Amino acid sequence: MTYSLIQLAPGAYDLLLKGEIVGSVVRSGARRSDTLWTAELIEDLPESKRPAPFAEIEHSFGTLRELCEWLAFPEIKSNFGLSAVARSS
């Protein structure tokens, strides 16, 4: 599967599969010791229709790196809060 992440804000990403938004990745927790990164699908799909490696709708990890390893190292882009029109000008 070819995933990519687009950073919306610090700790918040859209999760794309082959260019289509299929979920989100978010950071929760106030300190490093309790930080949790969660990848969650947008749709509550039956297990047989979930894209690999999703066995569940939601998966949590201790670091963003662990999450990215699980997704086979997706490309990560940042839009810095700007629309596609603003970024191209």
pLDDT in tens, the chain (89 residues): 799 999 998 899 999 999 999 999 999 987 667 899 999 999 999 999 999 999 999 999 999 999 999 999 999 998 765 544 444 43
SS3 86: helix
Cα separation, 89 vs 2, whole angstroms:
28
Could you give phi then psi for residue 22, rounded to 5 degrees? -120, -10
Provide the whole-model pTM.
0.84
